[in-house]
Amino acid sequence: GAGVSQTPSNKVTEKGKYVELRCDPISGHTALYWYRQSLGQGPEFLIYFQGTGAADDSGLPNDRFFAVRPEGSVSTLKIQRTERGDSAVYLCASSSGTGELFFGEGSRLTVL
């Protein structure tokens, strides 16, 4: 597709479970960002990849959160031992270096 694709669009899990969220960026975009958005708030930065490496992970809230981008394209955000407070919409964005970020529609995570 032409845009940023995120799967799943919705994920319901139980407290304590492990979750993976996937982002497929726009082809050729070297920069990839993960954000988290809680209800009524603006998106909150989590991590930024330039190519395969995490160039800025200052937004990850704790060590239960981890993200990878092994081949410099698709990225996976991994959350271990999920908590109810992790419930949010997780947004992915990519950029070609022009300064404009292109966002996906997000993955809504609900932790019961």
Nearer to another protein, 8 or 16 (CB): 8
C-beta of 15: minimal distance to another protein in Å? 25
Nearer to another protein, 49 or 86 (CB): 49
Nearer to another protein, 33 or 65 (CB): 33
10-13 and 107-111 strand pairing: parallel
C-beta of 33: minimal distance to another protein in Å? 7
Nearer to another protein, 19 or 47 (CB): 47
| Token digits of residue 59 | 């937004």
Within 8 A by CB and 6+ apart from 31, the residues are 48, 49, 50, 94, 95, 96, 97
C-beta of 16: minimal distance to another protein in Å? 28
Query: How far, CA to CA in Å, does 70 sit from each of 23, 36, 77?
Result: 12, 21, 12
Residues engaged in binding another protein (CB under 8 A) = 4, 30-31, 33, 35, 40-45, 48, 50-51, 53, 55-56, 91, 93, 95, 97, 99-106
